[in-house]
């Protein structure tokens, strides 16, 4: 079968197999049409991972785990495997083209040893405050471990398709916005409630923090922090209008850890307090 795009290959490899393959782009390679992927294939997005990242500590732990894996993949240029913080098995495979690592393939959502995985999962869930019962239910859906060679063959097949599409495609831009700015905006919109920072985002894509900051402001008209606050405030507006949650609850859920700061930035932006806004909308 001829896979015309990278997405069609990943769908064929993942559907019906219970595993998940995602690709972390550190060069803009996925901006090419033939290599473009939906967000589902760019992050750890299976139900288990979604539950693991629901709490603030859970999200922070997963982000740090991936950050360390990315750094090791770029530093060594070699594939490796192991367990995530919640005990699931994963293979990490950097893709090098023209002497540079372009992206990193992750093959995971795999249960290698149920007892050991469950023990690690329960320990981490107690630390992060994650719902252990829901994690256990999701764990039952994970793929049973086959072998390192099997997952390595899937990684190499994916690498081969990436190389072929990259080399055959005409290089073209991904729109008016720089690839890393688009990815950072996407990260903010997905994880605005977490402890995001320009420094971490720059490290995630192996770029200089000051360069990314200037680029981000030039292309969005806002600093990283201003953009992050805008996304958080947009979420807060929706919660104030659609729920009966307290201002403190909404502040925390929107990523503001200080309710006093939330009230101040809200009033500076909308010229009214959160309570006043809710009163006008109800």
With helix as H, strand as E and coil as C, how does the chain read?
A: CCCCCHHHHHHHHHCCCCCEEEEEECCCHHHCHHHCCCHHHCCCCCHHHHHHCCCHHHHHHHHHHHHHHHHHHHHHCCCEEEECCCCCEEEEEEEEECCEEEEEEEEEEEECCHHHHHHHHHHHHHHHCCCHHHHHHHHCCCEECCCHHHHHHHHHHHHHHHHHHHHHCCCCCCCCCCHHHHHHHHHHHHHCCCCCCHHHHHHHCCCCHHHHHHHHHHHHCCCHHHHHHHHHHHHHHHHHHHCCCCHHHHHHHCCCCCHHHHHHHHHHHHCCCHHHHHHHHC
Residue 177 has pLDDT above 80, yes or no: no
Mean predicted confidence (pLDDT) in 101-130: 95
Q: Is 100 exposed, middle or buried (0-12, 13-18, 19+ CB in 10 A)?
A: exposed
The whole-angstrom separation of Cα 116 and Cα 145 is 13
Q: What is the pLDDT of residue 170?
A: 43
* Spatial distance between the Cα atoms of 167 and 118, rounded to a whole number of angstroms: 43
Q: What integer pLDDT is reported at residue 3 of this predicted model?
A: 52
Measured CA to CA in angstroms, residue 68 lies from 9, 61, 72 at distances of 27, 11, 6
> What's residue 33's pLDDT?
80
Using alpha carbons, select from 27, 49, 70 the residue that is nearest to residue 200. 70
- Give residue-wise pLDDT tens across range 192-241: 998 899 999 999 999 999 999 999 999 888 999 999 999 999 899 889 98
Which range among 4-13, 102-111, 169-178, 185-194 has the greatest average pLDDT? 102-111
pLDDT of 168 = 67
* Interval 15-31: pLDDT, tens: 877 899 999 999 989 98
Measured CA to CA, the distance from residue 232 to residue 256 in angstroms comes to: 8
Distance of CA 193 to the CA centre of its chain: 13
> Rounded mean pLDDT of 84-111?
95
Whether 180 shows a pLDDT value over 90: the answer reads yes
pLDDT of residue 124: 95
pLDDT (mean) for 154-165: 91
Average pLDDT over residues 129-144: 93
Residue 44 to residue 42: CA distance in whole angstroms:
7
CB atoms within 10 A of CB 113: 14
DSSP lists the bridge partners of residue 21 as: 107
Instruction: Determine the pLDDT at residue 252.
Output: 93
Say if residue 177 is exposed, middle or buried (CB neighbours under 10 Å; 0-12, 13-18, 19+). Answer: middle
Q: Give pLDDT, residue 16.
A: 78
pLDDT score for 274 = 93
Answer for the pair 151, 107: CB distance below 8 angstroms, yes or no: yes
pLDDT score of 10 more than 70: yes
Domains parsed from the chain with CATH numbers? 6-172 (no CATH), 191-281 (1.10.10.60)
- Name, in order, each residue with C-beta under 8 angstroms of 215's C-beta and a sequence gap of 6 or more: 178, 180, 181
Whether pLDDT at 34 is above 90: no
- Check whether 174 has a pLDDT greater than 50: no
- Note the pTM of the prediction, 2 decimals: 0.79
More confident residue, 189 or 79: 79
pLDDT at 196: 92
């Amino acid at each position: 079968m001829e896979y015309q795009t990278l997405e069609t290959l990943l769908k064929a490899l993942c559907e019906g197999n219970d595993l998940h393959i995602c690709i972390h782009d550190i060069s803009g390679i996925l901006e090419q049409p033939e290599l473009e992927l939906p967000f589902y294939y760019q992050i750890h997005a299976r139900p288990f991972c979604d539950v693991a990242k629901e709490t603030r500590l859970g999200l922070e732990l997963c982000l740090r785990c991936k950050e360390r894996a990315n750094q090791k993949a770029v530093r060594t240029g070699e594939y490796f495997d192991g367990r995530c913080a919640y005990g699931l098995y994963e293979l990490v495979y950097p893709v090098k083209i023209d002497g540079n690592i372009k992206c990193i393939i992750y093959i995971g959502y795999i249960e290698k040893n149920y007892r050991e995985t469950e023990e690690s999962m329960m320990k981490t869930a107690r630390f992060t405050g994650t719902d252990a019962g829901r994690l256990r239910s999701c764990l039952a859906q994970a793929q049973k471990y086959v072998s390192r060679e099997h997952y390595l063959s899937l990684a190499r097949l994916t690498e081969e398709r990436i190389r072929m599409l990259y080399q055959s495609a005409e290089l073209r831009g991904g729109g008016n916005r720089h690839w890393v700015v688009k990815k950072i905006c996407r990260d903010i919109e997905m994880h605005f409630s977490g402890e995001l920072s320009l420094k971490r985002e720059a490290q995630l894509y192996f770029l200089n923090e000051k360069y990314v900051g200037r680029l981000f402001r030039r292309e969005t008209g806002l600093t990283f922090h201003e953009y992050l606050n805008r996304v958080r405030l947009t979420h807060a507006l929706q919660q104030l209008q659609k729920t009966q949650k307290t201002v403190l609850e909404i502040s925390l859920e929107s990523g503001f850890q200080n309710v006093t700061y939330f009230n101040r930035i809200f009033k500076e932006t909308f010229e009214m307090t959160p309570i006043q806004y809710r009163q006008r909308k109800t």
